[in-house]
């Protein structure tokens, strides 16, 4: 009966819960879903991670390839991030070219990479003007249930923390490239930006970590991306009602606490990976 009511009157169903100061999944307004991270799960990738936020799930696989640097940045490598929202993650997406939402997500990830100090692209340079690494970061949403930018960002930076690059010997005189795949070095990630999403309702009311239904029925939504030093890398607000200064300040304070927790979960997963790697080597 409850499911029928939700299907026929989704807005009324949600509002009935909000009037009782509880959400349909039992959470309080400013409560978040549990986070889990599984790293180095794709054997063929140079770095990978699966990030779960409740049942919203994203996976990132990173493939490193050698290339000629761009003419305007001769001593920088570069990163190409792409988000895929396939019909498998939600019935709202259709087969074919990337949806507008997938393109917006890819652009947002690109802005986060550019705005944060997480990566120094000079670390990807092997020989200025001649040879650099390109990191192809493919992010796929496996299950879509709201706050997807949080899951995609988490999967990307957890994967980057696992990234190792093979040693490359390059002769600028002969152009000979020798790759030594067994001699791999970890790639340096200087900070882990964490995205925290919110939904706005007219009351005014702030909801943390909204589900897909809550996002769809909200009057607006926004995400705050924060690094290790609690510096804001990016605020994304795709339309909707304005955010009051009070609610924005509350969101920023919640994002500070939340980002520390998410970062600790990622770091714990990386530490476990390193311990297991040392035990395997010995």
Residues 6+ apart with CB under 8 A from 197: 146, 147, 149, 150, 208, 209, 210, 221, 222, 223
Cis amide prior to 204 (ω within 30 degrees) = yes
At 33, is the pLDDT very low, low, confident or very high (cuts 50, 70, 90)? Answer: very high
Mean pLDDT (whole number) for 61-71? 94
Kind of pairing between the strands at 35-39 and 47-53: antiparallel
Mean pLDDT rounded to a whole number for the chain: 90
Contact 139, 258 (CB under 8 A): no
From the CB of residue 279, how many other CB atoms can be counted at a distance below 10 Å?
8
> Is the pLDDT score of 180 beyond 90?
no
Task: Rounding to the nearest 10 degrees, give the CA dihedral for residues 147, 150, 152, 153.
Answer: 160
> Is the pLDDT score of 280 beyond 70?
no
Q: What is the pLDDT of residue 282?
A: 47
> Is the pLDDT score of 281 beyond 60?
no
pLDDT tens digit string along 104-128?
A: 999 999 999 999 999 999 999 999 9
Q: What is the pLDDT of residue 1?
A: 47
Q: What is the pLDDT of residue 220?
A: 93
pLDDT tens digit string along 7-31?
A: 666 777 777 777 787 888 889 999 9
- Backbone φ and ψ for 139, nearest 5 degrees, come out as -110, 125
Q: What is the pLDDT of residue 137?
A: 97
Range with the poorest average pLDDT among 37-51, 129-143, 166-180, 216-230: 166-180
């Amino acid at each position: 009966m409850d499911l029928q009511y939700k299907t026929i009157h989704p807005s009324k169903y949600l509002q009935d819960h909000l009037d009782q100061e509880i959400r349909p999944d039992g959470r309080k307004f400013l409560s978040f879903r549990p986070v889990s991270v599984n790293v180095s799960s794709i054997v063929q990738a140079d770095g990978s991670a699966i990030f779960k936020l409740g049942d919203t799930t994203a996976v990132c696989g990173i493939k490193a390839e050698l290339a000629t640097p761009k003419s305007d940045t001769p001593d920088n490598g570069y990163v190409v991030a792409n988000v895929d929202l396939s019909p498998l993650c939600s019935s709202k997406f259709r087969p074919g070219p990337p949806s507008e939402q997938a393109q917006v997500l890819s652009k947002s990830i690109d802005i986060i990479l550019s705005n944060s100090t997480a990566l120094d692209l000079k670390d990807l340079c092997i020989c200025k003007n001649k040879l650099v690494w390109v990191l192809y970061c493919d992010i796929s949403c496996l299950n879509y249930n709201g706050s997807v930018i949080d899951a995609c960002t988490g999967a990307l930076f957890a994967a980057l923390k696992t990234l190792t690059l093979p040693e490359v010997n390059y002769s600028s005189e002969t152009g000979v490239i020798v790759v030594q795949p067994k001699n791999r070095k970890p790639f340096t990630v200087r900070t882990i930006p964490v995205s925290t999403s919110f939904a706005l309702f007219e009351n005014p009311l702030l909801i943390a970590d909204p589900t897909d239904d809550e996002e769809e029925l909200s009057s607006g939504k926004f995400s705050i991306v924060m690094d290790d030093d609690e510096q804001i890398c990016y605020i994304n607000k795709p339309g909707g009602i304005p955010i009051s200064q009070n609610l924005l300040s509350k969101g920023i304070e919640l994002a500070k606490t939340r980002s520390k927790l998410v970062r600790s979960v990622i770091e714990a997963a990386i530490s476990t990976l390193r311990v297991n790697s040392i035990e395997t080597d010995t």
